[in-house]
Chains A and B, each alone.
Chain A
Amino acid sequence: MDFRVFNLGVVDFKKALQFQKEIFQEIKNNYFNSALVLCQHYPVITMGRQGSAENIRVSLGELKNRGIHLYEIERGGDVTYHGPGQLTVYPIFNLNYLKKDIHLFLRQLEGLIIDLLSDFGIKGLRHKGLTGVWIDKKKVASIGIAIRNWITFHGLSINIKKDDLDNFSLIKPCGMDIEMTSLETILGRNIEIRQIKEIFTHKFKNTFLIHR
């Protein structure tokens, strides 16, 4: 399988979305099969198809004052926050080459994050009916994807740095009163996002690409 990895660094959400759509089109045209786009975003709130404005706790003016953009997008799920300190990953994946099973793909993404956490001695959990990955009752990773003609885009974010969690208080993540956590919060030490990118990419290849 012809697989490509794109490392965008810290990037504006809208620019990354445009990039995703260009890659999506190239995959749709069979220039290559699948891609992984890795990045961090400047502070942004996005609202998925199940989103409700009630789940943003502050006014649009307040968001503007804080320099946080709000985008309504075509992924599944409710409202979420992205910022530097999170690793955001967009797997643009042609499920025609794997298995055309939407929930299986979501569960595989969760499994990959749980596996990554276990490398750090952290027990990641699934909570039934609440897609994402949890550490005890706190959420560490969020997932929301879109699929068009069985090619995926949008994706997941993993909270890495401890000092980027405050902005989650501006929203009700996924429309619920949940508390977020991060790898650094749990481990009590510095974690480099670069390291998580390398581990994630390696595990992604193992999960989706080996023997194909």
Chain B
Amino acid sequence: MTKVVLPELGEGIEKATVSYWYFKEGEKVNEKDDLVELTTDKATFNLPSPCSGMLSEIFFHEGDTVNVGEVLAIIEES
């Protein structure tokens, strides 16, 4: 089980908003695939999947705000 965590995005940036999930819960993902897109200020950015496996649970959905360090989703490694 691998946690997908919102990493540091720069000085003073504490949170970001989920703007797009590239996959749904239950779908297979490959390592380095674009997993989720988030937005801060006037910038969107991606989080690549940290491993290959099944996206088992999404904790923050499109429009939700996530703090740096929080777990966005769980991937069950294959």
Chain A positions within 8 Å of B, measured between CB atoms, are 48-50, 74-77, 99-106, 131-132, 143-149
Contacts and interface: CB of A to CB of B under 8 A. Distances in A.
Interface in B1-32: 8-13, 19-20
Contact of A102 (B19, B41, B48): B41
Among B9, B39, B42: residue with most chain A CB under 10 A? B42
Contacts of A131: 41-42
B76 interface: no
A145 B39 contact: no
- Judged by DSSP, the binding face of A is mixed
B13 to A, nearest CB: 6
Contacts of A76: 39-44
B34 interface: yes
B71 to A, nearest CB: 20
Contacts of A149: 46, 48
A147 B10 contact: no
A74 B38 CA distance: 10
Nearest to B20: A49
Contacts of A75: 42-44
B37 interface: yes
A104 B43 contact: no
B46 A145 contact: no
A77 B41 CA distance: 8
B45 A77 contact: no
A129 to B, nearest CB: 9
B39 to A, nearest CB: 5
Contact of B43 (A99, A100, A132, A145): A145
